[in-house]
Structure 1
Amino acid sequence: MLLLNLLNVQTVLVALTVGLLVYVIRRRFIYRLPPGPWAIPLIGNFEVYTKPLVHRLILQLSEKYGPVIRFSFGPITTVFLNNYEVVMEALVKRKADFAGRPASVTFSLISEGYKNIALASYSPMWQYHRRVAMKALRNYLQGDLLEKLTQDNMTKVMNMMAAEAEKGPIELKSHLDNIVFYQLFTLCFGENKEIGDPDVEFLLREKDNVNEAIGNGLREDLLPFLKDVYPSKRYIIIKEAADRVFSFLNRLLQKHQETFDPNNIRDLCDHLLLARSEAEKSGDDESLEKLNDTYLVQTLSDIFFAGVDTTRLTLEWFLCFISGLPEIQAKCQAEIDKTIGRRCPSIADRQALSYTEACLYETMRAGVIAGLGVPHLTICDTQVGGYDIPKDTVVLINHFALHRDTKYWKDPEKFDPLRFLDENGKMDPTKLDSWLPFSAGRRVCLGESIAKPEILMMCVHLLQRFEISLPEGVKPNFAGVHRDVFGTESPADLRIVVKERLR
């Protein structure tokens, strides 16, 4: 019996090996695949994906293999796009070809089975939800609601920063979390919470738990069956946190439904309920089915959580550069003083704050906020850069490589806001090639229209009120520290000194 079992195991292993070889050889003959280093079957290029800062390593390897590189993350074939030309060909020229999203255990957990916008694959359902969310965001941007919200929230947090600064240099993370998290909470749910509110702190704590657990990815993402037979501790942490968060958000949605008034739209949650109300009145059963509670909660979760870390990291990198480059800070403050003085900034001031906005754009280029971004998936056989990309191939955009490309950026490691200005000192839209912090094409960031004016106003508020510097004896350090699998880096050990500016 033992011999028979061993023979059965050997038979299965031989069959698997032969099948894998046939599959690999067949792909070689049918497709002209992108080049890349040799990978161990099933294990892949472990010397790449087991290291931090993959985006930097891929950029180095692109000098050998070119802008389109093929790697294997375990058994998963992945293609990296490393320059502006191939990225635009894939995302803009080929449009929907690269608009899918890969399935993963982690993605499924944090989206209740891909029912949000960021992680759902390209489909009519996804297109519908994106249209509804975009309409809600556009309505939100009308009027002065964003300005009032930013002003109120920034005043609260800056008062806390000023009080803490009396004791010495301040740690930024908690203050930046407060700036971003409380603002997004009010944007989505209308409640203007005080700093320290237990509901907001609960969501902030759960967000940090999930981020820490995701880290460089779960083993279940490479071998999904493990979640059913031997789930990892990190998988359990993410699942339990997701369950708690979605239960909480469902309660908030229920409260909004009970007080919903189509003539008094208070927040983004109300805008989504309005879309459902309009579908009910029109008898549009198909649209109504697409706007059930789960999808509404996932859309709110998307807008709320997707913007938190990227916005906070942008502010953190902005303060890193500004505190280490006092001459650039002084130019921003001179522009702010001349344009605004001491009144509260508004979105209308944006046109007259070109230098400050150029500093924000340069922050998004030079700071590694999302080195790789969210992975794409090809939904059909397609091509890019002269190579064949088979259907269901995972594709990653190396934003870090785009933002360090010497073809577009002279001395790319230098922080230079003048890159984005014309000869009259105004923002020059023709200088934005290879600048893609929000991606492009069908999967361009949903919140881009809000993020750019919102973050600019946050930066203006900070520079208008404070002189920002490094502690005595500390030298500027613009090196990034690895954070997660998405190629995110944060400034190393950033503590700053803030002083009230003389009025």
Structure 2
Amino acid sequence: MVLLSAWSLYRPTGMPPGPRGFPVVGSLFSLTANIHLDFIKLGKKYGGIFTIKLGSNLAVVLNDYELIKEALVKKPTDFAGRPRTLSGEILTEGCKDIAQSDYNSTWKLHRKIAHQAIRAYASGEKLERLVHEQAFPPLQEALEESDGKPLQMKQLFMLTVNNVLGKLCFGHGLTLEDPEFKATVQIFDDYSETVGKGLIADVLPFMKYIPMKATDDLVRISEQAFAPWRTKFMEHKEKYDKDNIKDLTDYLIQEQKKAVEEGVGDIEKLTDTHLVQTIVDVYGAGIGSTKETMNWSVVYMVRYPDVQTKVAMEIDDVVGRDRLPLLSDRSKLPYYDAVIHELMRIRTVLPLAVPTKL
């Protein structure tokens, strides 16, 4: 045990400086729920790049703009790998998605077809149409019905983003009173709460062999969350019409059938599970980040009414009140554009990047 404890503190030669930590657990007990703030403090002490032991994992933290840019922008493929964790395997059914999958030919194929589908069904004028037809009407209706009374925006933002992504992925939207929408909200709430707690086995791998309630809860909520997406995918597969590709799910099924017909080696990379996980990545990640950014935008607009007034005036001057904004208006709305960037800076939805490995 003494030798193992000493070995757990070993660091390869040439690693950046950082806190030594304790045997086995490393620096886990030094970190708080606001781990990004803890990293900022450590950055002030050790510099823009430092090493920290998170349980059994030796992690290098980049805490400097130029270093982050070099790693993720200038050398993206060098840092495109993903470490495997127990929670990652559970949430992605064996790392069969895009976000948690390691950098390999399967990942590149799924990322490629997902990008192609998004460009085909949610870019330029098609994106504008999705927002105008799916997001704006329910928002406008709710605001008119409130008649100036206080209104809870959180569910409304969830609905508007859900409808854009629902139309993109499955070809339809929902309403506030729709049982499917209420079930979706509940799934996202339960999913966020369960995933947010994390698993101790992610940092102490040997713990995965010990039965724990947290692991069982994660398996259960993952099954509940994926069930509706699997059902929708299978419905699309049963009704698939190669002459009527109308959404992202149809596009993925089309690519799968092409691989089968052509007998190429990509068939095993395009299983139903892989495709459902790709849909989950597009749908789930899009809803989470967008609705939270919108929630915070309302908070800050209320907190700073002078900024709200300037934004409204600029929109009225450039766009007017007879139409909805277009992507082409962006260059003519410099103040509004700056406000959006500042909102994303001051309330970062995801302060830490997804872990990578060499």
* Fold in common (TM above 0.5): yes
Structural mapping, 1:151-300, within 5 Å: 151-152=132-133, 153-164=135-146, 166-167=148-149, 169-232=150-213, 234-281=214-261, 283-300=262-279
Counting only pairs closer than 5 Å after superposition, residues 43-442 of structure 1 correspond to structure 2 as 43-49=25-31, 51-142=32-123, 144-152=125-133, 153-164=135-146, 166-167=148-149, 169-232=150-213, 234-281=214-261, 283-342=262-321, 343-378=323-358
Structure 1 pair 362–274 and aligned structure 2 pair: CA distance change class (3 A) = same
Does the alignment pair 1:18 with 2:16? no
AA aligned to 1:325 is: Y
Deviation, 1:235, is 2.4
Separation (CA, whole Å) in 2 of partners of 1:364 and 1:143: 22
Deviation at 1:262, TM superposition (A): 2.5
1:41 and 2:41 correspond: no
Q: Which has the higher strand share?
A: 1
* Whole-Å separation in 1 of the counterparts to 2:143 and 2:274: 38
State the structure with bigger RCO (CA 8 A, min sep 6), 1 or 2.
1
Deviation by residue 1:339-396 (Cα, 9 ceiling, x = unmatched):
2212122223223223212211111111121111311122xxxxxxxxxxxxxxxxxx
Query: For 2:102, what is the secondary structure of its paired residue?
Result: coil
**One-letter amino acid of the structure 1 residue matched with residue 324 of structure 2:** C
1:32 to 4, 14, 21: 14
The Cα shift of 1:311 comes to: 0.6
- 1:45 and 1:72 in contact (8 A); partners too: yes
8 Å CA contact 1:44–1:74 kept in 2: the answer is yes
Alpha-carbon distance in structure 1 between the residues aligned to 2:4 and 2:27? 20
The answer to whether the Cα contact below 8 Å between 2:162 and 2:287 also exists between their aligned partners in 1 is yes
The TM-score with structure 2 as length reference comes to 0.92
Residues 9-38 of structure 1: CA distance to partner in whole angstroms, max 9, x if unpaired? xxxx3xxx324535755x44xx21111122
1:357–1:143 Cα change, 3 Å: closer
Contact 1:220 1:231 in 2 (8 A): no
CA distance in 2, matches of 1:225, 1:206: 30
1:161/1:175 contact within 8 Å kept: no
Quick check: 2:96–2:274 contact (8 Å CA) kept in 1?
A: yes
Give 2:19's aligned amino acid.
P
Structure-1 separation of matches of 2:325 and 2:52: 47
CA distance in 1 between partners of 2:144 and 2:34 (Å): 35
- Select the structure that is richer in helix: 2
Cα gap change, 1:43 to 1:207, in 2 (>3 Å): same
The code of the aligned residue for 1:311 comes to T
Match of 1:71, SS state, is strand
Letter in 2 for 1:71: I
How far the C-alpha of 1:91 sits from its partner, in A, is 2.0
Q: What's the CA shift for 1:161?
A: 3.8
Tell me: CA distance 1:64–1:227, structure 2 relative to 1, closer, same or farther (3 Å): closer
Quick one: structure 1 residues 192 and 94, their matched pair in 2 at CA, closer, same or farther if it must change by over 3 Å?
closer
The alignment of Structure 1 onto Structure 2 pairs a total of residues equal to: 356
Gapped runs of 5+ residues in structure 2? none
Q: Cα gap change, 1:47/1:22 in structure 2, threshold over 3 Å: closer, same or farther?
A: closer
Q: For the residues of structure 1 that align with 2:59 and 2:311, how far apart are their CA atoms?
A: 42
Amino acid at match of 1:299: T
Secondary structure of residue in 1 paired with 2:83: coil
Q: Percent identity?
A: 32
CA distance in 1, matches of 2:9, 2:209: 29
Residues 279 and 287, structure 1, Cα contact 8 Å, conserved in 2: yes
Structure 1 or 2, whichever has the larger Rg, is 1
For 1:254 and 1:216, locate their aligned partners in 2 and report how far apart those are by CA, in whole Å.
31
CA distance, structure 1, for counterparts of residue 91 and residue 280 of structure 2? 9
Letter in 2 for 1:287: D
Give the TM-score, by structure 1 length. 0.67
Across the aligned residues of Structure 1 and Structure 2, the Cα RMSD in angstroms comes to 2.1
The amino acid across from 2:14 in the alignment is R
AA partner of residue 256 (structure 1): H
Once the 2 structures are TM-superposed, how far is the Cα of residue 204 of structure 1 from its aligned partner?
2.4
Aligned residue identity for 1:316: N
Q: How far apart in 1 are the matches of 2:349 and 2:145? A: 29
Do the aligned partners of 2:9 and 2:23 also contact (CA within 8 Å) in 1?
no
**Kept in 1: contact 2:5–2:24 (CA 8 A):** no
Inter-partner Cα distance in structure 2 for 1:296 and 1:46:
36
